Structure 1
Amino acid sequence: MDFSHVHLSDEDRTFRDELRNFLRTIVTDEVIRRDRETGENFDEGVHLALGARGYLAADFKPESEGGFSAVRRRIWELEIGRAHTPWFHWPTTMMVARTLAQFASRELLDDLLPQVLSGQVRLCLGYTEPEGGSDVATCKTRAVREADGSSWVINGSKMFTSNAHNAQYVFLITNTDPDAPKHQSLTMFLVPLDSPGVEIQPLRTVDGDRTNITYYSDVRVEDRYRVGEVNGGWTVLREALNAEHGTIERDDQGLQKLATMTEHMLLLAEALDRAAAVAGDDDAVRYRLGRAVARMEAAMSSPEMFGRVAIAQTMRDITPDLMDILGAAAALPVDTDGAADDGGFEYLFRLAVPTGIYGGTLEVFRNMIAQHVLGLGRPNYSPPAKRPA
């Protein structure tokens, strides 16, 4: 692993300074406070401002088409995180948009992509079902083609449709052939969320984030919104899942974000610095803080799926330790009198739980590592065989 420093050109330093100053003007204390209160991880004003400035388009496009260079993309990712930008909606939108660019019709892509890059249109994911868990292929949401073939009728429900209330379309996995094997029965649609029959209900997670349950009751969708082939949805979905899992092919310049959710570790690193500044000065505290720093650095240096697991597990292990070091005040939430770090430690403690669930549980990712990296067999969850009497 190469830990060399990157020496910025004058142009890249100017880009960094301009971006940093721009973020300072739009990501205000009020924006951050409101984001903590709502748990939406999204601010429309910030999103539209970044789109109008051309940053969203530059993040989406390759350098050959006017997008960021590798160095500028790394600067962009770091500064977005350091500014505490309410941000997690854009990577989801971009992930879906990249899949659309590969599988959607040219007509649909030409209609939507400019609006996505301007920030006017946002996209969310409709994968998980109430009884489906992390296995999205066990989809029961049905899409039935109408007789004339021009449209589909969709019925079903989805859990954890985060930011559906701020999005215009949901990237929805449906079952179009219940009699087929589960990976050959799926078809993907981009469903307009203002369609009659769509209902969005809020759902709060333990860390205070808002996600949603979405219901689809006789929702009619034109065939133009189908993405990919009928019953070929697994091929379409697999590309998006690879991006969400962090298993996409890496470049050879060493500047890509090492793993998904590294922005969460920026928050943890800041909290660890603040804890060290006010914690008691004795051997036990120094040992625990040093151990936390070592764990955090190791997690931040782990790539791909390994990094995703290491980041989530490290957050789960370190945050209760920090709260214990700082005492009862660290358990008080934001805007509570006497809260340590104005509730920052309590927020991170709650945030650590769902980081091990996003895009699949830690157990799912550990099984993927075991099977696809280490070459081990599939896990066997059947009960142990009873010994003969």
Structure 2
Amino acid sequence: MDFDFSPDQTAFSETVERFLDANPDPEVFDVTRENMAQVVDTPARRAYMRKMADQGWLGITWPEEWGGQDGDGVYEYLLNEALAGRGGPQIGKGVGIIGKTLLAHGSDKLKAEFLPKILNNEVEFAVGYSEPEAGSDAASMKLRAVRDGAGWRLNGQKTWTTSAHFAEWYWVGARTDPDAPKHHGITLFLVPMDHPGITVRAIWTMGDERTNDVFFDDVWVSDEYVVGELNKGFQYISQALDLERFTMFSFAPIQQRLNVLTEYVKEATRDDEPLREDPIVRKQLATLVTEAAVARLLGLRVVAAAAGGGKPPTVEASGYKLYATELSKRLANASMDIASPGTQLRVGTEDAPMTGRADSTYRYTVLDTIGGGTSEVQKNIIARRGLGLPKNF
């Protein structure tokens, strides 16, 4: 099997790398934020993504009629991997989750209002699925939307909304038919984050990043801001989660962390003996390098499945997300074990092993196995949709 990229794809990747080399910015690129580095949460990061827009790189796979290039998804993959490898922001929710769902299901009004802003990176979105009693099982959401005139009145709570404190719009699911089965009766809405009925409260994670609780108190939303058909929101969410599970957890940061550990092992000593000659350490590194190669190919499998058309790459995306995030944890554990108790020093500590990188890797990667659906949820998806096992096995 040929795993090489085509000449055109290789040329595009080289073009991206040259652009990044010519436009470095320490306020934008920070590998120590691990996978949270992808978030476009500061003025500097937003400005940088506008440079991406100027290159025409934010709508590669979109139809030409909406400003895109009708290109293959592999180009988005290459772009995101290049950005992620340097700890930079990625094309993310707007182009992927929101943009592609609007292209498939949105009204002409929503397309006209939001798609040009997304392509120009003029708007940021928060995504609201999780609730206190509906985490990975998004179908259990209870945020109520009750018909009120030419719109809907929303009341309830969302949680773990990472972008709520800086986004302009909320892409949020709410239950519009409480009598329907839980996978039905959910509708997607677009709600301005500055609505007076919305309250955002910070939650600080063990990775030193902010996520949020979001409270809805009589938030009225016009019918014009309903996404797609009423009561079909969960089906749209499920399709979008395939994108989220893949794009949220790029392979490049895993490779970058592995390179950091490998370089440390090359130079470090233990009891005056080179660490690289320790047979246990060598075995650990060989295993991690092999598993990293597997993760990369699982990611390419998602790209290939998406390019083939037909059904969304649900099983492939879950397989990659499960393997890659669990590998990230194994890599973090190995970094802590190999480099001794000094790895408990905070990231940025100059005299710590790997300047404290093991600390940030360890704390962040715990979160990775939860975001976008826990590892247990991914196993269930693979079991049911990939292996055809019954729901209650």
Does TM-score exceed 0.5, indicating one fold? yes
Identify which of 243, 247, 263 aligns with 1:274. Answer: 263
Structure 1 residues 182 and 55: alpha-carbon distance in aligned structure 2, compared to 1, 3 A threshold: same
**What is the identity, as a one-letter code, of the residue corresponding to 1:211?**
T
Deviations 1:307-358 (A, max 9, x none): 2211111111221112211112222122324222222221111122111111
Identify which of 282, 287, 290 aligns with 1:291. Answer: 287
> Unaligned regions of 5+ residues in structure 1, if any?
247-256, 381-389
Matched with 2:142 is 140
Matched with 1:234 is 234
**Alpha-carbon distance between aligned partners in 2 of 1:44 and 1:31, rounded to the nearest angstrom:** 9
Identify which of 42, 53, 56 aligns with 2:55. Answer: 53
Matched with 1:324 is 337
Provide TM-score, normalisation by structure 1: 0.84
- CA contact 2:61–2:68 (8 Å) conserved in 1: no
**Alpha-carbon distance between aligned partners in 1 of 2:94 and 2:129, rounded to the nearest angstrom:** 13
| Matches for 1:85-234 after TM superposition, within 5 Å | 85-87=88-90, 90-91=92-93, 93-146=95-148, 148=149, 150-234=150-234
After superposition, the CA RMSD in angstroms is: 2.8
Q: Report the 3-state secondary structure (helix = DSSP H, G, I; strand = E; otherwise coil) of the residue aligned with 1:171.
A: strand
Structure 1 residues 307 and 62: alpha-carbon distance in aligned structure 2, compared to 1, 3 A threshold: farther
CA displacement at 1:24 relative to structure 2? 3.1
**Alpha-carbon distance between aligned partners in 2 of 1:57 and 1:314, rounded to the nearest angstrom:** 31
Structure 1 residues 16 and 263: alpha-carbon distance in aligned structure 2, compared to 1, 3 A threshold: closer
- CA contact 2:322–2:369 (8 Å) conserved in 1: yes
CA displacement at 1:59 relative to structure 2? 5.3
Q: Report the 3-state secondary structure (helix = DSSP H, G, I; strand = E; otherwise coil) of the residue aligned with 2:380.
A: helix
**Alpha-carbon distance between aligned partners in 2 of 1:219 and 1:26, rounded to the nearest angstrom:** 42
Matched with 1:387 is none
Structure 1 residues 17 and 313: alpha-carbon distance in aligned structure 2, compared to 1, 3 A threshold: closer
Q: Report the 3-state secondary structure (helix = DSSP H, G, I; strand = E; otherwise coil) of the residue aligned with 1:301.
A: helix
Q: Report the 3-state secondary structure (helix = DSSP H, G, I; strand = E; otherwise coil) of the residue aligned with 1:345.
A: helix
> Unaligned regions of 5+ residues in structure 2, if any?
269-274, 302-315
Matched with 1:253 is none
- CA contact 1:12–1:72 (8 Å) conserved in 2: no
Structure 1 residues 323 and 62: alpha-carbon distance in aligned structure 2, compared to 1, 3 A threshold: farther
Deviations 1:256-276 (A, max 9, x none): x9x953244233333233233
CA displacement at 1:107 relative to structure 2? 1.1
More off after superposition, 171-180 vs 42-51: 42-51
More off after superposition, 17-26 vs 179-188: 17-26
Q: Report the 3-state secondary structure (helix = DSSP H, G, I; strand = E; otherwise coil) of the residue aligned with 1:57.
A: coil
- CA contact 2:342–2:353 (8 Å) conserved in 1: yes
Identify which of 373, 378, 381 aligns with 2:391. Answer: 378
- CA contact 1:99–1:240 (8 Å) conserved in 2: yes
**What is the identity, as a one-letter code, of the residue corresponding to 2:7?**
L
Matched with 2:84 is 81
CA displacement at 1:70 relative to structure 2? 5.8
- CA contact 2:62–2:69 (8 Å) conserved in 1: no
Structure 1 residues 233 and 282: alpha-carbon distance in aligned structure 2, compared to 1, 3 A threshold: closer
Structure 1 residues 22 and 237: alpha-carbon distance in aligned structure 2, compared to 1, 3 A threshold: same
**What is the identity, as a one-letter code, of the residue corresponding to 2:238?**
R
Deviations 1:254-299 (A, max 9, x none): xxx9x95324423333323323333413222222221221222223
- CA contact 2:173–2:187 (8 Å) conserved in 1: yes
**Alpha-carbon distance between aligned partners in 2 of 1:70 and 1:109, rounded to the nearest angstrom:** 21
Identify which of 353, 368, 371 aligns with 1:358. Answer: 371
Q: Report the 3-state secondary structure (helix = DSSP H, G, I; strand = E; otherwise coil) of the residue aligned with 2:199.
A: strand
**What is the identity, as a one-letter code, of the residue corresponding to 2:256?**
L
**What is the identity, as a one-letter code, of the residue corresponding to 1:173?**
G
Deviations 1:91-114 (A, max 9, x none): 465211111112121011111110
More off after superposition, 131-140 vs 326-335: 326-335
Matched with 2:311 is none
**Alpha-carbon distance between aligned partners in 2 of 1:26 and 1:202, rounded to the nearest angstrom:** 32
CA displacement at 1:85 relative to structure 2? 1.0
Identify which of 19, 28, 31 aligns with 1:31. Answer: 28
Identity rate of aligned residues, in percent?
30
Matched with 2:313 is none
Provide TM-score, normalisation by structure 2: 0.83
Matched with 1:8 is 7
Q: Report the 3-state secondary structure (helix = DSSP H, G, I; strand = E; otherwise coil) of the residue aligned with 1:154.
A: strand
